[in-house]
Amino acid sequence: LRHFITLDGLDRAMLTDILDTADSFIEVGERTIKKVPLLRGRTVVNLFFESSTRTRSTFELAAKRLSADVLNLDINTSATSKGESLSDTLLNLEAMASDMFVVRHSQSGAPHFIAESVTPGVAIINAGDGRHAHPTQAMLDMLTIRQHKQRFEGLKVAIVGDILHSRVARSQIRALQTLGAEEVRLIAPGTLLPADVDSLGCAVEYDMAKGMDDLDVVIMLRLQRERMEGALLPSEREFYRLYGLDSEKLALARPDCIVMHPGPINRGVEIESAVADGPQSVILNQVTNGIAIRMAVMSMAMSGQVAERAARARQQG
Ligand code: CP
């Protein structure tokens, strides 16, 4: 890896390598994460132009567990509020000998734009851009599924709710298909499915009761009201009745079906508290796995950058 912006173009061997590398950071038989010196002397800058609890905190913890120096730029109090452009902000951060930018942005494509404009040698990690992608979230979800199901082959996985606005769903679909899941099923009202749904290679079900049949994994999504801009939507009460995961609907899936959610969860809107906190929920395991996956991605991207710099230096004689 050099940058980590999308799962598009990454094959099964690469995704498995990321999962295996993440596993190597988890203490055997425990859920604690090792501290290793892989990024000692390196500087990681967290650039979050959108709010975050889980992603930002676990990137910071992951960088610290890799022994990197971490800078969390507070965008609200930075000079961007005085009109400094993104390019100038990045140039100044690069001048502080930064090795990696972890970027969250409301605009799809922002991390790609940054990767094109920074000095070669600085790694860009996508921490979620617009509706486009959230690749580390998808990979921590895959690690959680593998821990609980030990495989991807033969699994039937449903993603439920606001698929239209979800960068998480797009990355999860790509990861599940690449890793060989038997079926990825989208359960949503037509108004919350993207226009290109037919090209995604997923089964589609509008009726949640039917959609829960024979599931091994159900992934619930939040209604992303901040991205909706007046879309035709059911009320929250109506949405919960039709698509909210409660104990009754969960009982229609396989008895060992696990319940996932990338967070933040809205209790009583897309998921019942009894399910979110219940025995089939692995939602907090997902959060813990975020540290190991982000350690894996950052360490692999950094070694890719080091190899790139060495090749560039050789070329320049
Ligand atoms: N899953 C996720 O991206 O959560 P945050 O918005 O809290 O980072």
Q: Which residue, 150, 160, 136, 182, is CA-closest to 260?
A: 160
- Asked if 184 contacts 201 with a C-beta cutoff of 8 angstroms, the reply is yes
In this predicted structure, the answer to whether residue 295 has a pLDDT above a threshold of 90 is yes
Domains, the chain, with CATH or none: 12-133+288-315 (3.40.50.1370), 135-286 (3.40.50.1370)
| Distance (Å) from CA 287 to ligand 1 centroid | 9
Q: How confident is the model at residue 232 (pLDDT cuts 50, 70, 90)?
A: low
| Distance (Å) from CA 264 to ligand 1 centroid | 6
The C-alpha angle 56, 60, 65, rounded to 5 degrees, equals 145
- Asked if 25 contacts 18 with a C-beta cutoff of 8 angstroms, the reply is no
**pLDDT 10s digits, 88-137:** 999 999 999 999 999 999 999 999 999 999 988 899 999 999 999 999 99
Report whether residue 137 contacts ligand 1, using a CB cutoff of 6 Å. yes
**pLDDT 10s digits, 79-88:** 888 899 989 9
pLDDT (0 to 100) of residue 143: 98
Region 212-225: what's the mean pLDDT? Answer: 96
In this predicted structure, the answer to whether residue 293 has a pLDDT above a threshold of 70 is yes
Report whether residue 46 contacts ligand 1, using a CB cutoff of 6 Å. no
- Asked if 117 contacts 87 with a C-beta cutoff of 8 angstroms, the reply is yes
**pLDDT 10s digits, 234-251:** 788 999 999 999 999 999
0.80 exceeded by the pTM? yes
Report whether residue 262 contacts ligand 1, using a CB cutoff of 6 Å. yes
In this predicted structure, the answer to whether residue 299 has a pLDDT above a threshold of 80 is yes
**Pocket test residue of 47, 51, 55 for ligand 1, highest count of atoms within 8 A of CB:** 55
Strand locations in the chain, DSSP E?
A: 43-48, 69-73, 100-105, 123-129, 156-160, 183-187, 203-205, 217-220, 258-260
Q: Which residue, 169, 204, 170, is CA-closest to 186?
A: 204
Return the residue whose CA atom lies nearest to atom 1 of ligand 1: 262
Report whether residue 263 contacts ligand 1, using a CB cutoff of 6 Å. yes
